[in-house]
């Protein structure tokens, strides 16, 4: 009998302490182990023996390590989807600790909301070192969020506005849960458009648009997406991610990839700009943001620079087609 839920952990050279905490969170799940499986996707970890050296014997049903030698978070997720057998697929990062009732809540939510293709919830921080107060401005860049206790649901079929958009509460990659048929639709879509394989983390790149690409792919096909506060996890934030330079690089890459993801789905809220104008715009923004005055201003300026880079590299405008007629019956 196939499992009800497949937990997929893509990982590349994980920190031993945080990864052990991730596995501990899974060991403590209240959902019976015989109805969920665990797949750890070893995404080209430098030492092929490193990931298998962790203890997975506690999972009495099915736990396995799958090697994916093509580096990149999207490729690792694709490998996990294709190897999974569950009705519902849960993406867990190697620094995420799921709340004990997370998996049990997944099946309950989809039974009540069968037209949702992707769901997610709260991602609350556990910091290795105390962050400086100004860093709260960039929690979303670190995949941290708490949108309160209200369930939020969206689909293009139900929207009163015909203009397509990516809702602010749509699932993020940490703790994202997909229905199997929706996940397979995403796999088929990406394999037909290999450029989208580079929309998320690859090596040292901080691109971070893969989760938005999943959401938009499903919305295009008529699925809904939702936020459910009972889907809660703890995100372990390492000290090296709490620096001005790291957050600046992350904000730059996130802004750049946001333009690319939207354009891949025919959404252009901003016009393409000439490539030659990128540098002058960055210089003008330098004086507007005054990044020498504060860390917040510096990180925001880098975000603006990423936006200009994205707009400058857009292809020529394509004829766009609305997808409002693709609603599920």
Q: What is the CATH number of the domain that holds 201?
A: 3.90.550.10
CA distances from 136 to 125, 131, 133, 144, 237 (A): 11, 8, 6, 10, 13
Using the structure block, give the residue that is written with the tokens 């690319």. Answer: 260
| Local confidence pLDDT in tens for the 329 residues of the chain | 688 999 999 999 999 999 999 999 999 999 999 999 999 999 999 999 999 999 999 997 789 999 999 999 999 999 999 999 999 999 999 999 999 999 999 999 999 999 999 999 999 999 999 999 999 999 999 999 999 999 999 998 765 555 778 899 999 999 999 999 999 999 999 988 877 888 887 777 787 889 999 999 999 999 999 999 999 999 999 999 999 999 999 999 999 999 989 998 888 888 899 999 999 999 999 999 999 999 999 999 999 999 999 999 998 765 444 343 444 44
Residue 125, domain member (yes or no): yes
pLDDT score, position 199: 83
Cα–Cα distance for residue pair 20/9, rounded to 1 Å: 12
State whether 84 and 137 are in the same domain.
yes
**Is the same domain home to 142 and 278?**
no
- pTM comes to 0.92
Residue-level pLDDT at 329 = 41
Strands (E), 195-267: 224-237
Using DSSP bridges, classify how beta strands 116-127 and 224-237 pair: parallel, antiparallel or unpaired: parallel
What's the CA gap between 32 and 107, in Å, rounded? 12
Based on the fold, state whether residues 132 and 146 are members of the same structural domain: yes
pLDDT on residue 323: 41
Both tokens assigned to 328? 């599920």
**Cα dihedral angle (168, 228, 88, 167), rounded to 10 degrees?**
-10
Q: What's the number of domains the chain is made of?
A: 2
Give the integer Cα–Cα distance in Å for 156 and 218.
10
pLDDT confidence of residue 191: 87
pLDDT value at position 162? 59
Domain end position, chosen among 215, 241, 267: 241
322 located within any domain: no
Q: For residue 93, which phi and psi values (nearest 5 degrees)?
A: -75, 165
What is the C-alpha separation between 83 and 306, in angstroms, rounded? 35
Interatomic CA distance for residues 249 and 244, integer angstroms: 9
Residues 115 and 59 in one domain: yes
């Amino acid at each position: 009998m196939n499992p009800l839920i497949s937990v997929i952990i893509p990982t590349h050279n994980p920190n031993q302490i945080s990864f052990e905490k991730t596995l501990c969170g899974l060991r403590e799940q209240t959902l019976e182990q015989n109805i969920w499986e665990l797949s750890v996707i070893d995404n080209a970890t430098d030492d092929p023996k490193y990931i298998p050296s962790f203890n997975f014997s506690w999972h009495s049903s099915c736990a396995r390590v799958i090697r994916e030698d093509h580096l990149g978070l999207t490729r690792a997720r694709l490998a996990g989807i294709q190897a999974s057998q569950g009705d519902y697929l849960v993406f867990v990062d190697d620094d995420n600790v799921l709340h004990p009732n997370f998996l049990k809540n997944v099946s309950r939510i989809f039974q009540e909301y069968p037209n949702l293709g992707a769901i997610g919830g709260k991602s609350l921080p556990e910091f290795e070192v105390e962050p400086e107060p100004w860093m709260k401005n960039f929690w979303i860049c670190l995949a941290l969020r708490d949108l309160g206790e209200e369930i939020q649901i969206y689909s293009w079929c139900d929207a009163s506005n015909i203009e397509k958009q990516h809702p602010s509460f749509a699932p993020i990659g940490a703790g994202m849960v997909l229905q199997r048929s929706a996940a397979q639709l995403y796999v088929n879509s990406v394999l037909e458009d290999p450029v989208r394989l580079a929309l998320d983390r690859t090596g040292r790149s901080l691109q971070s648009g893969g989760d938005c690409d999943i959401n938009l792919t499903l919305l295009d096909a008529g699925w809904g997406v939702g936020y459910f506060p009972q889907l809660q996890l703890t995100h372990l934030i390492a000290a090296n991610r709490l620096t001005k330079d790291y957050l600046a690089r992350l904000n730059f890459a996130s802004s750049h990839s946001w333009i690319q993801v939207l354009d891949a789905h025919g959404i252009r809220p901003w016009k393409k700009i000439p490539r030659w104008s990128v540098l002058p715009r960055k210089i003008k923004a330098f004086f507007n943001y005054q990044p020498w005055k504060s860390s917040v201003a510096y990180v925001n300026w880098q975000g603006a620079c990423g936006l200009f880079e994205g707009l400058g590299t857009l292809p020529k405008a394509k004829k766009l087609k609305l997808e409002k007629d693709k609603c599920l019956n």
